[in-house]
Amino acid sequence: MSSETTLTTAPRADFEDDPPPTRSRWSLLSGTDRAVVWSMVLLPLAVHVAFVWVPAMASVVLSFTDWNGISEIGWIGGQNYVDATTIYPLFWPAIAHNVIWLAVFFLVATPLGMFLAVLLDKEVAGTRFYQSAIYLPVVLSLAVIGYITQIFLAPEQGMINSALDLDIDWLGNSSINLWAVLVFASWRHAGYVMILYLAGLKGVDPVLKEAAQIDGATQSQTFFKVVFPVLRPINVVVLVITVIESLRAFDLVYVINGGINGLELLSVLITQNIIGEASRIGFGSALAVMLLVVSMIVIVPYLFITYRDMQEA
């Protein structure tokens, strides 16, 4: 899924409407059947753990070493973290860029997607077409979107410069290139958020909206006071997706210039420290752990919200 965050919420309604347990009684199973069930669960999970959690945990261990991939592994405590935050010149710019990325997604792209979903939910003529068109960028890879970005922003022939007769180096000027790239990243993200909200809005009981309007609520009051709170599970999913997608951002900047000169991101720095000539495994791992910790700040609450709902059932 390249760098795609996909999520759903637990279908709570199913549990509430469906009190009889759907699980078979474990004690009735024969020994063979028990072994089959355990193998069906544990063998695939072993693949997941071996290639996802083992490396993630190994990042934590390696972050306390000075390993370069060849030498003996030496333990240096928190030195990599100190170096990253004090003497590594790209660290703070990358953090700043990730924060800007998140802020633009959170304040612009996500609300825009939500707004478009509300408009599309009114089902004027042609809605199906509008919906497909707005969703279209989401099926494109971020690499392809990177190339499309270049068609628009290339300094000499680029669409924007040749249309407006400007001479701006959109992608080469490090004080504006992040913002220029974010226009295209938002183009895609808004479509993604739109489709999630649209599905949520279709599930809202129309009686709620009608009741609010009969009570004299305006359109925006109806949305913010009545519909938005009902959409809580979708809001949680969209929030998590917005944060994680901002942390995962990589492909787009990597295609454009390899993630340098104003387009540094934490994800790019991690990658640069392991591929290429200077292989700094320990240092790269320390950067990865910082990304891991920030991700966990949204992942862990999300898991608790989702599975608390499931366990109540």
Name residues contacting other proteins, limited to 76-135 (CB under 8 A).
Answer: 116, 119-120, 122, 124-127, 129-130, 132-135
CB of 266 to other proteins, least distance (A): 7
Q: Is 254 among the residues that bind other proteins (CB under 8 A)?
A: yes
Q: Is 187 among the residues that bind other proteins (CB under 8 A)?
A: yes
**Which residues, 6 or more positions from 6, have their beta carbon under 8 angstroms from its beta carbon?**
241
Q: Which is nearer to other proteins, 77 or 216 (CB)?
A: 216
Subset of 12-71 contacting other proteins (CB under 8 A) = 12-15, 18, 20-24, 26, 28-29, 32-33, 36-38, 40-41, 44-45, 47-56, 58-59, 62, 69
Helix (H, G, I), strand (E, B) or coil at 65: strand
One character per residue 201-220, x = contact with other proteins (rule: CB under 8 A): -xx---------xxxx----
Subset of 228-247 contacting other proteins (CB under 8 A) = 231-234, 237, 240, 244, 247
Q: Contact at 8 Å (CB) between 175 and 182?
A: no
In this structure, what token pair is assigned to residue 239?
């929030």
Q: Is 1 among the residues that bind other proteins (CB under 8 A)?
A: yes
Q: Is 143 among the residues that bind other proteins (CB under 8 A)?
A: yes
CA distance 159 to 177: 16
CB of 215 to other proteins, least distance (A): 5
CA distance 263 to 98: 10
Say which DSSP state 199 is in. Answer: H
Residue 244: count other Cβ atoms within 10 Å of its Cβ. Answer: 20
Cα 158–chain centre separation: 29
Q: Is 10 among the residues that bind other proteins (CB under 8 A)?
A: yes
Q: How many residues make up the chain in this entry?
A: 313
